[in-house]
Chains A and B, each alone.
Chain A
Amino acid sequence: MEKYLILNTLNFPILSMLLIVPVVGAIVAMFLRGDTLLKFWGLAVTLATAVISLPLWTCFDQTTAKYQFVELRHWFPALNLEYVIGVDGISVLLVLLTTFVMPLCVLCSWTYIKIRMKEFIIVTLLMETAMLGVFMSMNTVLFYIFWEGMLVPMYLIIAIWGGARKDYASIKFFLYTFAGSIFLLVAIIAMYIKTGTFFIPELMDHSFTFAFQLWVFLACAIGFAIKMPMFPFHTWLPAAHVEAPVAGSVILASILLKMGGYGFLRFCLPMAPAATLYCVPYLLVMSLISIIVGGYLALGQSDIKKLIAYSSVGHMGFVTLGIFLLNDAGIKGAMLQMLNHGVTTGALFILIGIIYERTHSREISDNNKLGMFMPIYVTFLGIFSLSSLAFPGTNSFVGEFLVLFGAFDKYPLVGAVSILGAVLAAAYMLRLLQKMVWDDSDGHAHHGDDHGDDEHHLFDCNFREFIQLAFLTVFVFWIGLHPTPLLDMMDTSVAHLIHQVDAGSAVQEAVHHGEHHALLNNAGAWVKNLF
């Protein structure tokens, strides 16, 4: 097993602690009374988790693609099943993103959540454990347990603290994601039957037949594409975002959507390399459709949350595009874009929460001319909107640039089409910004009379809100101007992943010189003709 992993060398079990601390925090929260105490407890636990996760950043070994900080315990020997968790260059940044976003989720709910505070804190903490578990799991059973474990807390967050149509949205969310994960479970069991192991690195090394790979790929891809969400599986997202409370939207946007991209990188690419290669054209086309449809739909929204939700579809399209370019720049760009989206869209949802608490409306037309009353708020809104449209110097630019570079390098036509998505992003974000900050000429008349008495509600950001936004702003510019440390962390693992895909598909070609070879060749020729 040593060829896959490096056992944890720190003098404490860092990854297990990250999983246990929120759970223990949730159990303690059951016995606490008083909303204020609970909020501070939730904040303390999430902050503690964030602090514990810091060594992952400082002690991470960038020179190896092996799993690090690994903890290994025997669990179910009869099934060859172990409790094994670890991180590599692909998951470590997502773990850090999770631990850093969670305190913000507690902070942004401080006054937003008005009922059942105890339950909210408990559910949020359990959610954190489940999400961290997904990124750390090194065997498929563990992965699936945590994957399904996220579903219930998220369902509860939307169903209890959500908006007017919360029942519809929460059920839709549950059914969509659950349907996706059923396929995932089938793939996991099928691979176990073939190989007798649940251990992810071994599954990556195993060379499945092409037909089997194709089924595994499709089963996993459906699950992940729903989670992403990719067109045409995206319809649950706007509903869930709109109805979820602000913390729910932040968790959804910042972390949950990344599970799909992570799944593609962890399962589809290395375990089914030949199938991946075969499916690349379809996935690229679907990504392009996601980018353009997401952007186009965002352009027409009057509800701010819906607008951001559709923009997420477009942004995630860039992520899948980058992943399936299967080159260094594309995959790194996609991974960076996942982090960027977590930072930027998370911040945008926090901003929407702030304004919703003041005006009780998510309509753009009810929230205009804010520049006059809330200069600090508007400054942050400007920064994160520009970041979202990939303004140079901000985080998203680097991610988008890398994906586009990967695209132009490999398939110029794909790059040219995806530029349309970048243009649309500028259009809908600037439209939003212009209407919210300055007011538009068509909303002008309505404004003079009815906002007069509203002005005193429009107090600017308070200290708590300022801290959350300022914290995320640091990341916007840090990643935007100095992404090298992050890219370096990914470097070896991404190179290893690309090697796995290349080697895996090469083995396929050598083994199956018959029909599949022809099939692959056809696919290759088709790709070449297309682009």
Chain B
Amino acid sequence: MNTIITSKILITMLIPMITGLLVMFSGKKPNLRDSWSTLGAILTFASVLSFLPVIQAGDQLKYTLFELYPGISVTLNLDPLGVIFAMVASFLWILASLYCVGYMRGLDEHAQTRFYVCYAVSVGAAMGAAFAGNLFTLYLFYEIVSIFTYPLVMHHQDEEGYAGAKKYIVYLMFTSKAFLLPAMIMIYVLCGTLDFNTASIAQGIFPAEADRFVVGITYFLCLFGFAKAGIMPFHNWLPDAMVAPTPVSALLHAVVVVKVGVFSVCRVMLSIYGTNLLHETGLGLFTAYFVSFTILTASVIALTKTNLKARLAYSTVSQLSYIILGVAMLTPNSITGGLIHIANHALAKITLFFAAGCIFVASGKKDISEMGGLGKRMPFTMLAFGVASLGMIGAPPVGGFVTKWYLALGTMDIHNYILLGVLLLSSLLNAGYFVPIFLTAFFGKPLPADEGLTSSLETKPLIMFMVVPLVITGTLSALIGVYPDLFLNLINLLVKP
């Protein structure tokens, strides 16, 4: 592996930030403003793709911007793990930016310029987190994501919005200040550096003589400090943050925000602690059991929710923990399953959220029980919803199947049948809360008020802005189930060096 020092990798982070500025200054011209967003998204994705060949060849890119103190710097470093996340997030931003146009104009939302600025900066910060070369840089961008998504969560500026946003910022800021900050300082005290070891996921950065007890403390502080990952008991902000407009829930709460959290946890596990240390101390297996609790509990709660977005929110909490479960089992197969779920879950969940938002804009419905017969009036939306649901359940050929396959292989590798049972049970639960939605939409009885309405709801131009992206993401979530090689090869670079 070679490390190439180049300032080019700054571009990926800078494009969304500049996009944010351009959006801000063209607030009076909505068409120009929204074109900037889409253009910025396309360029960001293109810039990530341009680095892909280097990463695929087994090299890494690195650039140090500022050095604050010996061992603490703002450093960007692109490795396979980072490129997976960056690729997924920037690609979905393109579709989300189109979707936003339909949604925000369809509902005639206020303060759209503020919305697009914060949206772009949040994605930029997520890129920064994906590219972070050390814990400080990761922390920096993680916090920027928190701050800039705050206005998005309270976008409606009503009582519910304020309450949700307050909870959001209190959870995220409290955990990062109370847990992450001391963890970072203690790691620095122990190691004298915060730089990730991106050369090998086995080694980590702790010196051999580091006190195992203190190492364990820092590990748990990190695990709970990244509350964006939604691990129980610090998951409560997520359902309440769903008061945000649906494109926010879709991109930020299915892809960017929560994935920054999960990505950070995975990054810390693999590049700070390393699989050897986690295995030796038993922290890996403990984490696996710990997140299993989240997987099952959140699924059970999801069953009880009748509001579509709330059900999706709890499904997110549950699915995020699959990723951490995979990494925590510490075998090549399980890590593959966990990391590929970053992409699988992102594609599937954004489809589900897009569909929920589309249903809301087109028909004003939020509750699952009201959606009877909707399948006939919004066939594309509901079909995409169905495909993505299969992905969440883990049925072939959709992407989620690949995840579950590798995760199950991982449990076999470590001969742990409890975790296998968790996987199977949670799949049943997933089916339990997704299948009824699909059945209601296609075979359920419409509400009395909707009786006899058969006209399509998907033909209006603005609605098309929403339907097209969600059909694309739905299709892709099926495609990467059939052809997962792009991501598998990248992950192989990590797990089988």
Contacts and interface: CB of A to CB of B under 8 A. Distances in A.
Interface of A: 386, 391-393, 398, 401-402, 404-405, 408-409, 412, 415-416, 419-420, 422-423, 426-427, 430, 434, 438-441, 444, 481-484, 487
A404 B185 contact: yes
A339 B178 CA distance: 25
B294 to A, nearest CB: 24
Contact of A392 (B139, B157, B189): B139
Contacts of A404: 181-182, 185
B411 to A, nearest CB: 37
A441 to B, nearest CB: 5
Contacts of B144: 393
**Can you list the 5 inter-chain pairs with the closest CB atoms, starting with the nearest?**
A392-B140, A481-B66, A441-B159, A423-B177, A441-B162
B116 to A, nearest CB: 15
Interface string B126-162: 0000000000100110011001000000100101001
Interface stretch (B67-75, B258-266, B335-343, B433-441): B67-75
A412 B170 CA distance: 25
B160 to A, nearest CB: 9
B177 A422 contact: yes
Contact of B68 (A391, A398, A409): A398
A444 B72 CA distance: 44
Given A438-B162, A481-B68, A419 B74 contact: no
B68 A483 contact: yes
Judged by DSSP, the binding face of B is helix
B420 interface: no
Interface in B311-346: none
Contacts of B188: 405
Nearest to A409: B189
Given A422-B177, A430-B169, A487-B69, A405 B189 contact: yes
A438 B169 contact: no
A427 B169 CA distance: 10
Contact of A419 (B67, B178, B189): B178
B173 interface: yes
A426 B174 contact: yes
B314 to A, nearest CB: 25
A385 to B, nearest CB: 10
B147 A415 contact: no
Given A415-B182, A438-B162, A392 B136 contact: yes
A405 B185 contact: yes
Nearest to A418: B182
B143 A391 contact: yes
Contact of B166 (A386, A391, A409, A434): A434
Contacts, number: 74
B14 interface: no
Contact of B74 (A391, A423, A438, A481): A481
B473 to A, nearest CB: 32
Given A393-B140, A398-B69, A438 B178 contact: no
A412 to B, nearest CB: 8
B186 interface: yes
A251 B130 CA distance: 43
A419 B159 contact: no
B39 interface: no
Given A391-B143, A393-B140, A438-B162, A484 B174 contact: no
Contacts of A412: 186
Interface of B: 65-69, 72, 74, 136, 139-140, 143-144, 147, 154, 157, 159, 162-163, 166, 169-170, 173-174, 177-178, 181-182, 185-186, 188-189
A409 B185 CA distance: 9
Given A408-B189, A426-B173, A441-B159, A416 B69 contact: no
Contacts of A423: 174, 177-178
Judged by DSSP, the binding face of A is helix
Contacts of B189: 405, 408-409
A439 B158 CA distance: 10
B188 to A, nearest CB: 6
A483 B173 CA distance: 25
A413 to B, nearest CB: 12
A391 B143 CA distance: 8
Nearest to B159: A441
A391 B146 CA distance: 11
A386 B144 CA distance: 11
A426 B174 CA distance: 8
A426 B177 contact: yes
A430 B143 CA distance: 13
Contacts of A487: 69
A440 B154 CA distance: 11
Nearest to B143: A392
Contacts of A427: 170, 173-174
A481 B74 CA distance: 8
A469 to B, nearest CB: 18
A364 B36 CA distance: 37
A195 to B, nearest CB: 39
A386 B69 contact: no
Nearest to B158: A441
A422 B181 contact: yes
Nearest to B72: A401
A300 B29 CA distance: 43
Given A422-B181, A440-B162, A408 B186 contact: yes
A340 B301 CA distance: 47
25 contacts: A391-B143, A392-B139, A392-B140, A398-B68, A402-B69, A419-B181, A420-B178, A422-B177, A422-B181, A423-B174, A423-B177, A426-B173, A426-B177, A427-B174, A430-B169, A430-B173, A438-B154, A438-B157, A439-B157, A444-B159, A481-B65, A482-B66, A483-B69, A484-B67, A484-B68
Contacts of B154: 438
A383 B154 CA distance: 20
A344 B497 CA distance: 48
A45 to B, nearest CB: 36
A423 B173 CA distance: 8
A411 to B, nearest CB: 12
A377 to B, nearest CB: 16
A281 to B, nearest CB: 21
Contacts of B170: 427
Contacts of A405: 185, 188-189
Contacts of B169: 430, 434
A441 B68 contact: no
Which of B136, B170, B177 is the most central at the interface, judged by chain A CB atoms within 10 Å of its CB?
B177
A494 to B, nearest CB: 14
Contacts of B162: 438, 440-441
A401 B67 contact: no
Contact of B182 (A392, A419, A430, A444): A419
Nearest to B169: A430
Contacts of A444: 159
B134 to A, nearest CB: 12
Nearest to A329: B69
A275 to B, nearest CB: 28
Contacts of A398: 68-69
A481 B72 CA distance: 10
Contacts of B68: 398, 481-484
Contacts of A386: 147
A427 B188 CA distance: 25
A402 B136 CA distance: 13
Contacts of A426: 173-174, 177
